[in-house]
Amino acid sequence: MARSVGIDFGTTYCAAALGGADAVEEMLPVPGDTSGRGVFPSVIAFPPESSPVFGWDALTWQERDASRCVVSIKRAISKGRGHSSFDTHSAAGLSQEAVDGEMPFLAVGGALKSPGEITALLLKEIHRRAETFCETRISQAVIGSSPAWDAETRNCILKAAEEAGFSEIRLVEESKLVLAAYLQRDRAWRRLAICDFGSGHFGFSVFERANPETDIMTLRPVVDSADAEIAGDEINGMIARYLIEQIRAETATDISKDAELMSQLLREVEKAKCAVSHRGSYDMSIRDKEKGFHYSRAVSRFEVAEYAGTILGGVADSCQKALRQATFRVDDIDTVILVGGVSRMPLVRTLVENVFHKDVFCDWNPDIAVALGAARVAGRVFAKDADA
Ligand SMILES: Nc1ncnc2c1ncn2[C@@H]1O[C@H](COP(=O)(O)OP(=O)(O)OP(=O)(O)O)[C@@H](O)[C@H]1O
Ligand SMILES: [Mg+2]
């Protein structure tokens, strides 16, 4: 049976699922997945004397030597990168070098690497794992695309996917992939909105259909926006800046100049932000034994909410602006789906419900919707190509 792969190429997490014309979609298992969420961090480490390592293993490496790791590569190749106030790469100690007319290269482990080269390595690993798991050759892939991608970015991803071993590749809007995954639930809707709150952007899309029999494969989003200023990474940036000031006030040390401590701080901020979605506080700790530096404190849910609030405050505006541009009113939307990791923050669900004055659908695993939808779409489009 011919198999194809659906890929969610996310800023912080990637996920992949397997599809095929007659196959039921299934998630590609992730080695070393400590989260149980079926995703792996979009991180590649370049150890000095071995081949690159990926995902959860790379995250372990990052704790040892962040200068050998590339994080958030999607941010580096996305058009919206210039608008982001928080530069994950610089903050983690990775310098960037602009090359004439090209996307900035990243200096990692003493070598300059292009964003396309790094993306190809990541996709190649997904391709390798998929072939090993299915014990068959796989050449077809559907990859989720962001509305922020311009032609240069799209070409870069297509080229990277070819280098990774795929010969038939489709880039399909992430929102359409979420819709494809959702339709398993077979709900009636006429105008459906999808909010995808990830680490790189807040995506807002609307689909419209004339009647329930309309084939969703023929639909394109009538609204498809991505706001890079409303993003999980931006929330981390707000919290990190606040903690840098707190640490400066309490210890007279400016850790923003120290790549190693900054890298630790960013990891702790990420853990704190996620932890307080489920409990009242998180005990953070950063340490550099050689420099004799140690700082620890509890980060409360209240503090995270306060600093995340500056970013979250933009959610309503972002939805309303996109609706206005399409001359829709809030009441025109009958169904709202919320996906993306940041939707785990209880406040986010409330915010979106307040915008649309209705319950939002978000009681599934928000991390894997794009990948599952991509595998479903892959099964359909490639089967159609074979029939043609
Ligand atoms: N429990 C949680 N509470 C708060 N935030 C969370 C939680 N779990 C994950 N996140 C955040 O969700 C974000 C990752 O979400 P997701 O995997 O949807 O993004 P992505 O697909 O990598 O990014 P993008 O789609 O923007 O390229 C991160 O910022 C992460 O901190
Ligand atoms: Mg995403």
Cα 37 from chain centroid?
14
Q: Where are the alpha helices (H) located in the chain, listed in sequence order?
A: 55-64, 73-77, 88-91, 115-134, 151-163, 174-182, 232-251, 259-275, 301-312, 314-325, 346-356, 369-387
- pLDDT tens readout for residues 80-107: 444 344 455 455 545 555 554 556 667 7
Using alpha carbons only, how large is the chain's radius of gyration in Å? 21
**337 vs 182: CA distance, rounded Å:** 9
pLDDT band at residue 70, thresholds of 50, 70 and 90?
Answer: confident
Cα 16 to Cα 37, 38, 48: the distances in Å are: 12, 8, 28
Q: pTM of this prediction?
A: 0.91
Instruction: Report the pLDDT averaged over residues 378-384.
Output: 87
Q: Give the residue, by CA position, lying nearest to ligand 1 atom 8.
A: 341
pLDDT band at residue 148, thresholds of 50, 70 and 90?
Answer: confident
- pLDDT tens readout for residues 328-367: 999 999 999 999 999 999 899 999 999 999 989 887 778 8
Q: Return the CATH class of domain 232-310.
A: alpha beta
Q: Whose structure tokens read 């050998």?
A: 68
Tell me, in angstroms, the distance from the centre of ligand 1 to residue 12's CA.
Answer: 7
The first and second tokens of residue 71, run together, are 């994080």
Domain boundaries in the chain? Answer: 232-310
**366 vs 370: CA distance, rounded Å:** 9
Q: How many of the other CB atoms lie within 10 Å of CB of 158?
A: 16
Instruction: Report the pLDDT averaged over residues 208-224.
Output: 88
The first and second tokens of residue 361, run together, are 């659908």
Tell me which residues have their CB closer than 6 angstroms to ligand 1.
10-13, 74, 198-201, 232, 270, 273-274, 277, 340-342, 344-345, 367
- Amino acid identity, residue 15? A
Residue to mutate, 202, 281, 342, ligand 1, most ligand atoms under 8 Å from C-beta = 342
- pLDDT tens readout for residues 262-298: 889 998 999 999 999 999 999 999 999 888 999 999 9
| Residues across the chain | 388
Using a 10 angstrom Cβ sphere, with 0-12 exposed, 13-18 middle and 19 or more buried, the burial of residue 154 is middle
Determine the Cα angle at 366 with ends 263 and 40, to 5°: 45
DSSP states along 296-324 = EEEEEHHHHHHHHHHHHTHHHHHHHHHHH
Q: What is the DSSP letter of 80?
A: G
**365 vs 367: CA distance, rounded Å:** 6
Tell me, in angstroms, the distance from the centre of ligand 1 to residue 292's CA.
Answer: 33
Max CA pair span of the chain: 69
